[in-house]
Amino acid sequence: MFDNASARTPCSALAFPTLAPPFPAASMHVLDWIIVGLYVATVVGLGWWANRLQTDTEAYFVGNRGVRWWAAGLSIIATSFSAASVLGMPGYAYADDMWYLQFQIGDILAAGIVAALFIPFFHKIKELTTAYEYLEVRFDTKTRQLGSALFIFATLLRGGALLYGASLLFSEIVPTDVFPGLPGVEEAIIIFGVIAITYTVVGGISAVIWTDVIQFGLIVLGVIASIIVVITSTPGGTSATFETAASLDKLQVLHADEPFAFKGIVTAVFGYGLLALSLYGTNQQPVQRYMTVENPREAQKALLLGVGTGAISVALSLLMGVFLFVFYDFNPGLLAEGIGSDQVMPQFIENQLPPVITGGLVAAVFAAAMSSLDSALNSTAAAITVDFYTQFKEDVAEQQRLFFAKIVVITAGALGIGVGIYASRTGELLIDIILDFLGWVGGGMLGLFILGMLTRRANGLGATVGATVGVAAALILTDNLTGLSFIAEAVGIVPFPSIWATAVGLVVTLAVGYALSLVVGRHPPPGQLENTTVQWIDVDGGRSQRASSRTGGVDDDRENPSGERTGT
């Protein structure tokens, strides 16, 4: 949910703003280290506590569908916060104004659509664990596995990228010397990775959600404490701070004079909004939270709470940057010469925060790193286990399935550590490309679900081909780091700004997918559309039995009443 004014693409900036090291090392006191140590002990302890509940994959992946809705909601937003977000967001407002807050309009609108349309469909399917099970019920197994594979690939790589970003920042603020011969960033990658793997593999989704709640609380408290310190340290206090900020136009949010620019309202609502719709509606990480609660109403409340709380947190982080600008405007001698806006917050932590609050903020950076990684590990394990392993080994014992899921968590975590270390040795271009991947595939993923939910004639073949073409179109028709936009330029097409990648992919997926379905003419029978298309949905209802079997979908042997083959 975070972005960078100078970023070319939405997704890399979303979780990995450009912060330029070196940063000053934080002056850590004994009390600060005690706070960090207590945090680590708490999250690991929660994992061991939750372990007693992990008797099967139902508990491991969806918490037996008994998680508190507010905890699920806070976990949704905690997953969106990275360490770079905590330290980088104030730099945006410090350098400019609060323009990024308007992106939360797109975020909130997307959440409203997901709450009204997507969540009821997910809960209509009995015992759904992954988002992609819906695609099998509506289309077929191949479509389900395409959607799941795209998610798994993106998340495995993205987890390593986020781990690298968090470790880079943490190692510069708090230098480590745990493993002799390794650079500090690689030490931090290993430390973060091992801790996240430990409590995630032991405690499952319950540990992930409840540690996310604690981690998000630490992040918010750290930002609020920093705001209090900076205001009370500014001559004139609160009134002088706001008056000065207003006089300098630092509190401006909307840029109505340039609605189609990157900072414009149209981009915020549609460009960013469609990306958010794809993430909240088709990404396994939030969808898994929807399924941990008892019914669709609680899932809707969880999502709206998470997004609403996220918007408030963004506002607080931006205000922190504005207040830092005012503080250093009153105290120019306290800021090192030549320092960039992205380094202001780390320097403030080192030089101005008192003990305990410094430890709390360092723990918050630690927390942001953990909350980004733990969710990726558990959700990836859910997708691999449910969408692939169980499909090929239907008769496997439950304990073996649970053991396999834990092995996947460990393997995915090790891969994330490896990607992070590789990135630290090869530069950040690869990381930017990996993080942008979600934006490139987002339109195709969203198109799969919209074809299923809002049309009755789309079939599996059309949806699969449409999504594939949509992803290719997003890469070719937008200005992105892959350089494939030269294909569009060669035929005289001016590429769209990269933040519109999801929108481009969505339009192409819907057009190609629906048209091909009409040409093929193998439409799903009415029974297969029950509880999977908008014509049949009952928002107030709970879960119902499927009209078709869990592995049914459309197959080549099923015929519709007219005698035409309905397979894809």
What are the tens digits of pLDDT across the range 242-251?
999 999 999 9
Average pLDDT of 216-225? 88
Encode pLDDT of 88-147 as tens digits.
Answer: 788 888 988 898 898 899 999 999 999 999 999 999 888 899 999 999 999 999 999 999
Average pLDDT of 37-58? 85
Average pLDDT of 27-40? 80
Percent pLDDT > 90 in the chain is 40
Residue 432: predicted pLDDT: 64
Residue 1: predicted pLDDT: 59
Percent pLDDT > 70 in the chain is 85
**DSSP result, 193-261:** HHHHHHHHHHHHHHHHHHHHHHHHHHHHHHHHHHHHHHHHTSTTHHHHHHHHHHHTTTT----TTSTTS
Confidence of residue 305 (pLDDT cuts 50, 70, 90): very high
Residue 298: predicted pLDDT: 97
- Token pair of 318, please? 């931006």
Residue 178: predicted pLDDT: 60
Residue 62: predicted pLDDT: 92
Residue 181: predicted pLDDT: 62
Average pLDDT of 310-323? 92
Encode pLDDT of 349-393 as tens digits.
Answer: 877 888 888 888 788 777 777 777 888 999 999 999 999 999 888
231 has pLDDT over 50: yes
Where does 27-536 sit in CATH, by number?
1.20.1730.10
Residue 430: predicted pLDDT: 59
Average pLDDT of 41-59? 85
27 has pLDDT over 80: no
Do 137 and 544 contact (CB within 8 A), yes or no? no
- Can you tell me the distance from the alpha carbon of 267 to that of 5, in angstroms, rounded to the nearest whole number? 13
414 has pLDDT over 50: yes
What is the widest separation between alpha-carbon atoms in the chain?
83
Average pLDDT in the chain: 82
Encode pLDDT of 249-287 as tens digits.
Answer: 999 888 777 777 777 888 888 989 999 999 999 999 999
Encode pLDDT of 513-555 as tens digits.
Answer: 999 999 988 777 777 787 788 864 444 444 433 333 343 433 3
**CA–CA distances in Å: residue 506 to residues 257, 476, 518:** 28, 14, 18
Residue 125 phi/psi, 5-degree rounding, is -90, 120
Do 212 and 75 contact (CB within 8 A), yes or no? yes
- Token pair of 351, please? 């030089």
Residue 560: predicted pLDDT: 42
Sequence spans of domains, the chain: 27-536
